[in-house]
């Protein structure tokens, strides 16, 4: 993607400390049909994750530890959040630049009032080739039993539910608000009944906390049509006190599963897919379609930055190019400053074209980051998982 005009920096009135200046070309960004805008490493822009709230009804210690996210924590005021209209305005330009998939996340996205209205509006967007978007949502499942049907009716296709174990005591301890596992399981059932599928269940594995739940979780979801995925505990944000000792590498997750199940490695569906997929094998050593598959997401031990095609839009409209970034680009200021659709597209395109983020590939060579460091990484609850 090239622009013949030199970049200019649009004046913004509300540049938050830490936000990066936005290079803008006065020419609109155009792309050839079928091609997405690419970054400096040749990675196309395909996947947009939108955080619709920075609030959550859980306090998972690996994400929003209670000691930090306590009653005095200052969440964003309503006026700071992008409105649904603003989100759709931005999303439309992302789609014009190559995005085919949108994931709504947070915080807990089901806490955002009238989320169905946003889903319905995003559902009207079409790619330049005329395709509808692949639209999904990641939730902790607490409100899913109540909302599954309305989400489906609004046009949501599928959901990913986070669930870190079936042992009620461990689950209550991990969500740290004493929330029972039975309610999340009811939410998953309601999502299945509403046709929100295929459902994925994400389990963050913390060695010494819930790793004994790997086999029970696999037994529970095998043969249900639900795809269980084991996620390595990541050093995202700056508040969870992460240490490598608590990471159980995916290779060990697979080894534990293989003590009971026969697994076959599967091909990735699409470039940029985060999970390595494994099929359960039948007695003949062939993939067992009824038993289904599992996935492992090895964000720590096997970096997948090489084809990372994900952009993240924070709750207040900052564009982040990596989960581990410390600064974003303030698209909200452009929106509220009256930028045209063409200027917005040009800004997003230029930002993506300059992207060289690949934190997980570099992790091992970087110095450890003190939690109180200035310019520390943003929290996952703010930019969305």
CA angle in degrees (0–180, nearest 5) for 151-69-87: 40
User: Helix 144-154 vs helix 115-122: angle between axes, to the nearest 10 degrees?
Assistant: 30
Q: Does 237 bind ligand SF4 (CB under 6 A)?
A: no
Q: Does 261 bind ligand SF4 (CB under 6 A)?
A: no
Copy the structure tokens of residue 170: 């461990």
Of 23, 44, 96, 107, which one interacts with ligand SF4 (CB under 6 A)?
107
How far is residue 364's CA from residue 375's CA, in Å, rounded to a whole number? 20
Residue nearest to ligand SAM (CB): 385
**Window 23-62: residues binding ligand SF4 (CB under 6 A):** 56, 58-60
Query: Strands 200-205, 227-232: parallel, antiparallel or unpaired by DSSP?
Result: parallel
Q: Which stretch binds ligand SF4 (CB under 6 A): 220-228, 257-265, 303-311, 331-339?
A: 303-311
Q: Are 344 and 89 in contact (CB under 8 A)?
A: yes
Nearer to ligand SF4, 12 or 308 (CB): 308
Q: Are 383 and 331 in contact (CB under 8 A)?
A: no
Q: Does 323 bind ligand SAM (CB under 6 A)?
A: no
**In the stretch 151-190, what mask flags binding to ligand SAM with x, by CB under 6 A?**
-----------x----------------------------
- Looking at 249-294, list the stretches that DSSP marks H as alpha helix, in order from N- to C-terminal side: 250-258
Q: Which stretch binds ligand SAM (CB under 6 A): 11-19, 34-42, 134-142, 252-260?
A: 134-142
Q: Which does 324 bind (CB under 5 to 8 A by kind): ligand SAM, ligand SF4, none?
A: ligand SF4
E strand segments, 10-100: 23-24, 47-51
By residue count, the chain amounts to 385
Q: Does 352 bind ligand SF4 (CB under 6 A)?
A: no
Of 357, 377, 378, 383, which one interacts with ligand SF4 (CB under 6 A)?
357
Nearer to ligand SF4, 64 or 196 (CB): 64
Q: Which stretch binds ligand SAM (CB under 6 A): 20-28, 101-109, 254-262, 321-329?
A: 101-109
Nearer to ligand SAM, 56 or 118 (CB): 56
How far is residue 273's CA from residue 223's CA, in Å, rounded to a whole number? 23
Q: Which does 3 bind (CB under 5 to 8 A by kind): ligand SAM, ligand SF4, none?
A: none
Nearest alpha-carbon partner for 138 in 67, 203, 69: 203
Q: Does 23 bind ligand SAM (CB under 6 A)?
A: no
Nearest alpha-carbon partner for 22 in 383, 262, 348: 348
Which residues in 354-383 are b (16+ Cβ under 10 Å) and which e? ebebbbbeeeeeeeeeeeeeeeebbbbbbb
Residues making contact with ligand SAM (CB under 6 A):
56, 62-63, 105-106, 108, 138-140, 162, 202, 204, 231, 233-234, 236, 240, 380-381, 385
């Amino acid at each position: 993607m090239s622009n013949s005009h030199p970049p200019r920096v649009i004046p913004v009135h509300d540049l938050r400390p830490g936000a990066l200046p936005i290079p803008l070309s006065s020419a609109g960004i155009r792309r050839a049909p079928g091609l997405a805008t690419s970054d400096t490493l040749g990675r196309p822009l395909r996947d947009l994750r939108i955080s619709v709230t920075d609030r959550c009804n859980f306090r998972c210690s690996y994400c929003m530890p209670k000691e930090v996210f306590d009653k005095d924590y200052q969440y964003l005021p309503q006026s700071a959040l992008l409105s649904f209209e603003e989100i759709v305005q931005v999303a439309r330009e992302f789609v014009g630049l190559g995005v085919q998939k949108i994931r709504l996340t947070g915080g807990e996205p089901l806490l955002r009032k009238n989320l169905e209205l946003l889903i319905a509006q995003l559902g009207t967007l079409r790619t330049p080739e005329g395709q509808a978007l692949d639209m999904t949502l990641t939730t902790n499942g607490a409100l899913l039993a109540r909302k599954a049907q309305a989400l489906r009716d609004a046009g949501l296709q599928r959901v990913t539910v986070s669930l870190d174990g079936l042992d009620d005591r461990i689950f209550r301890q991990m969500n740290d608000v004493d929330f029972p596992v039975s309610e999340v399981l009811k939410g998953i059932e309601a999502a299945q009944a509403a046709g929100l599928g295929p459902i994925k269940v994400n389990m963050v594995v913390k060695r010494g906390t819930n790793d004994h739940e790997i086999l029970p979780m696999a037994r529970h979801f095998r043969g249900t049509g639900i795809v269980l995925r084991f996620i390595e505990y990541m050093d995202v944000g700056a508040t969870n006190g992460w240490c490598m000792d608590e990471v159980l590498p995916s290779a060990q997750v697979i080894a534990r599963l293989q003590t009971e199940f026969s697994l076959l490695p599967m091909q990735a569906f699409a470039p940029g897919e985060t999970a390595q997929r494994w099929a359960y094998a039948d007695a003949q050593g062939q993939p067992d379609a009824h038993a289904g598959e599992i996935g492992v997401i090895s964000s720590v031990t096997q970096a997948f930055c090489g084809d990372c095609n994900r952009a993240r839009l924070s709750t207040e409209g900052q564009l982040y190019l990596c989960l581990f970034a410390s600064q974003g680009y303030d698209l909200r200021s452009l929106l509220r400053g009256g930028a045209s659709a063409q200027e917005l597209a040009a800004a997003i395109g230029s930002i993506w074209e300059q992207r060289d983020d690949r934190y997980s590939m570099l992790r091992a060579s970087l110095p450890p980051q003190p939690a109180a460091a200035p310019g520390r990484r943003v929290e996952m609850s703010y930019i969305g998982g």
